[in-house]
A and B are shown apart, each in its own frame.
Chain A
Amino acid sequence: MARHEALQETAPRCETYDISLESGETVLGALGYIYENLDSTLAFQYGCRFKGCGLCTMIINGKARLACMTRVEDGMELSPLNHFPVIRDLVVDRRALTRFLRLHQLHLTWSKDKELASVFQVPSPYEKLAGCVECLACMSECPSFSLGSKGFGGPLTFVKLAQLHFDPRDALDRKAQAKALGISTCLECEIKCSCPLGVPIHKIAIKSLL
Chain B
Amino acid sequence: MLTLKECDILVVGGGGAGVTAAVLSARAGAKVALVSNDPVGRGDTCIASGIMANGIINAADNPQKFIRDLVLCGEYLNDPSLVSLLVERSGEAVEVLEEFGMVFRRDREGRRVPIPFPLGGHSVARSLVTLTEGNQIGNALRGALYGSDVEVNEEYLITDLITGQDGVVGALGIDLYSGEFLAWSAKSVIIASGGCGALFAPFTSNMRSNTGDGFVLALEAGADLRDMEQAQFIFGISHPESLIGVLCGEPASAGYFGRLLDRDGKEIIKNPGKKTRGQVAAAMAKTISSNKVGPHGGVFLDLSKNRERLGPIYRKVLSLSRKSALDVVRFAYGEREAGCEKPWEVVASFHYHPGGIKVDEQCQSTVRNLYAIGQVQGGLFGSDRLGSVSLTELFVFAKIVAESAVEKVMNMSQPYVDTKKVGKIVESRRWAMGKTGAFRPVELKCRLQKLMYEKVGPVRNGVSLEEALRELACLDDDMKNVSIPSRQDYNTDWIDFLQLQKMIVLARIITRCALERRESRGSHVRTDYPKRDDARWLKTIVVKKDGEEFALHTDPIEHAWRDIESPGLMEQVPARIQGFFVSNLPGGLLRRILKKRLGGFVREDQH
Per the 8 Å Cβ criterion, residues 117-158 of A in contact with B are: 117-122, 124, 126-127, 130-134
Q: Does A53 contact B (CB under 8 A)?
A: yes
Q: Does B39 contact A (CB under 8 A)?
A: yes
CB nearest neighbor in A for B484: A40
A118, B177: Cβ atoms closer than 8 Å: no
Q: Which residues of B contact A106 (CB under 8 A)?
A: 143, 146
A55, B98: Cβ atoms closer than 8 Å: no
CB nearest neighbor in A for B144: A107
Interface SS of A by simple majority: loop
Q: Which residues of A contact B490 (CB under 8 A)?
A: 43, 87-89, 91
Known A25-B241, A40-B493, A47-B42; contact A124-B605, beta-carbon cutoff 8 A: yes
Q: A24–B241 Cα gap in the complex (Å)?
A: 9
Q: Does A7 contact B (CB under 8 A)?
A: yes
Q: Does A63 contact B (CB under 8 A)?
A: no
- For B150-171 the 0/1 string (1 means CB < 8 A from A) is 0010110000000000000000
Q: A34–B223 Cα gap in the complex (Å)?
A: 39
CB nearest neighbor in A for B153: A95
A90–chain B nearest beta-carbon distance, Å: 10
Q: Which residues of B contact A16 (CB under 8 A)?
A: none
B242, A49: Cβ atoms closer than 8 Å: yes
Per the 8 Å Cβ criterion, residues 44-64 of B in contact with A are: 46-47
**B147 interface neighbour in A24, A25, A95, A105, Cβ under 8 Å:** A105
Instruction: Point out which of B42, B106, B242 has the most chain A C-beta atoms below 10 A from its C-beta.
Output: B242
A98, B40: Cβ atoms closer than 8 Å: yes
Q: Does B173 contact A (CB under 8 A)?
A: no
Per the 8 Å Cβ criterion, residues 120-163 of B in contact with A are: 130-136, 138-139, 142-144, 146-147, 152, 154-155
Q: Does B579 contact A (CB under 8 A)?
A: no
B101, A167: Cβ atoms closer than 8 Å: yes
Instruction: Point out which of A24, A53, A117, A134 has the most chain B C-beta atoms below 10 A from its C-beta.
Output: A53
**B109 interface neighbour in A25, A119, A131, A163, Cβ under 8 Å:** A119
- For A1-42 the 0/1 string (1 means CB < 8 A from B) is 000011100000000000000101110111010011000111
**A130 interface neighbour in B136, B324, B493, B605, Cβ under 8 Å:** B136
B241, A29: Cβ atoms closer than 8 Å: yes
B45–chain A nearest beta-carbon distance, Å: 10
A29, B146: Cβ atoms closer than 8 Å: no
Stretch at the interface among B182-190, B226-234, B438-446: B438-446
Q: Which residues of B contact A119 (CB under 8 A)?
A: 109-111
Q: A94–B47 Cα gap in the complex (Å)?
A: 19
A60–chain B nearest beta-carbon distance, Å: 14
B314–chain A nearest beta-carbon distance, Å: 22
Per the 8 Å Cβ criterion, residues 476-493 of B in contact with A are: 485, 488-490, 492-493
Q: A187–B443 Cα gap in the complex (Å)?
A: 52
Q: A24–B40 Cα gap in the complex (Å)?
A: 31
Instruction: Point out which of A50, A55, A105, A160 has the most chain B C-beta atoms below 10 A from its C-beta.
Output: A50
**A52 interface neighbour in B47, B108, B131, B485, Cβ under 8 Å:** B47
B103–chain A nearest beta-carbon distance, Å: 5
- For A36-76 the 0/1 string (1 means CB < 8 A from B) is 10001111001111111111000000000000110000000
Per the 8 Å Cβ criterion, residues 90-122 of A in contact with B are: 91, 93-95, 97-98, 101-102, 105-110, 117-122
Q: Does B100 contact A (CB under 8 A)?
A: yes
Q: Does B240 contact A (CB under 8 A)?
A: yes
Question: Chain A interface residue count: which class?
Answer: 35 or more
CB nearest neighbor in A for B443: A36
A53, B154: Cβ atoms closer than 8 Å: no
Q: Which residues of B contact A22 (CB under 8 A)?
A: 240-241
Q: Does B592 contact A (CB under 8 A)?
A: no
Q: Does B112 contact A (CB under 8 A)?
A: yes
A98, B154: Cβ atoms closer than 8 Å: yes
Q: Does B552 contact A (CB under 8 A)?
A: no
Q: Which residues of A contact B489 (CB under 8 A)?
A: 5-7, 87-88
B198–chain A nearest beta-carbon distance, Å: 11
Per the 8 Å Cβ criterion, residues 526-579 of B in contact with A are: none
CB nearest neighbor in A for B485: A41
B192–chain A nearest beta-carbon distance, Å: 17
A131, B496: Cβ atoms closer than 8 Å: no
Known A51-B324, A87-B490, A134-B142; contact A32-B38, beta-carbon cutoff 8 A: no
Per the 8 Å Cβ criterion, residues 364-414 of B in contact with A are: none
B146, A98: Cβ atoms closer than 8 Å: yes
B42, A55: Cβ atoms closer than 8 Å: yes
B500–chain A nearest beta-carbon distance, Å: 12
Q: Does B475 contact A (CB under 8 A)?
A: no
Q: A74–B551 Cα gap in the complex (Å)?
A: 53
**A124 interface neighbour in B46, B99, B440, B603, Cβ under 8 Å:** B603
Known A22-B241, A118-B112; contact A127-B131, beta-carbon cutoff 8 A: yes
Known A47-B209, A101-B146, A119-B111; contact A130-B154, beta-carbon cutoff 8 A: no
Q: Which residues of A contact B98 (CB under 8 A)?
A: 117-118
Q: Does B327 contact A (CB under 8 A)?
A: yes
Instruction: Point out which of B38, B95, B246, B490 has the most chain A C-beta atoms below 10 A from its C-beta.
Output: B490
CB nearest neighbor in A for B135: A133
Q: Does B208 contact A (CB under 8 A)?
A: yes
Known A93-B177, A121-B106; contact A51-B328, beta-carbon cutoff 8 A: yes
A25, B242: Cβ atoms closer than 8 Å: yes
Q: Which residues of A contact B131 (CB under 8 A)?
A: 122, 126-127, 130
Known A118-B111, A132-B139; contact A46-B208, beta-carbon cutoff 8 A: yes
- For B226-262 the 0/1 string (1 means CB < 8 A from A) is 0000000000000011110110000000000000000
Q: Which residues of B contact A68 (CB under 8 A)?
A: 242
Q: A108–B146 Cα gap in the complex (Å)?
A: 10
B438–chain A nearest beta-carbon distance, Å: 14
Q: Does B207 contact A (CB under 8 A)?
A: yes
Known A25-B240, A130-B136, A132-B135; contact A49-B246, beta-carbon cutoff 8 A: yes
B154, A52: Cβ atoms closer than 8 Å: no
Q: Does B416 contact A (CB under 8 A)?
A: no
CB nearest neighbor in B for A26: B242
Q: Does B331 contact A (CB under 8 A)?
A: yes
Q: A156–B332 Cα gap in the complex (Å)?
A: 29
Per the 8 Å Cβ criterion, residues 153-173 of A in contact with B are: 160, 163, 167
A107, B240: Cβ atoms closer than 8 Å: no
A92–chain B nearest beta-carbon distance, Å: 10
CB nearest neighbor in A for B244: A49
Known A40-B441, A106-B146, A124-B603; contact A98-B47, beta-carbon cutoff 8 A: no
B94–chain A nearest beta-carbon distance, Å: 9
- For B1-43 the 0/1 string (1 means CB < 8 A from A) is 0000000000000000000000000000000000000111010
The 4 closest A-B CB pairs, nearest first, are A29-B242, A107-B147, A108-B101, A52-B47
- Can you add 10 more A-B contacts, CB < 8 Å, to A36-B446, A108-B147, A127-B132? A7-B489, A24-B332, A29-B241, A32-B242, A40-B493, A50-B324, A53-B42, A101-B146, A108-B143, A124-B605
Contact sample, A vs B, 7 pairs, CB 8 Å cutoff: A24-B240, A53-B135, A107-B146, A130-B135, A131-B136, A133-B138, A134-B138
Q: Which B residues form the contact surface with A (CB < 8 A)?
A: 38-40, 42, 46-47, 95, 98-101, 103, 106, 108-112, 130-136, 138-139, 142-144, 146-147, 152, 154-155, 177-178, 202, 207-209, 240-243, 245-246, 324, 327-328, 331-332, 440-443, 446, 485, 488-490, 492-493, 496, 603, 605
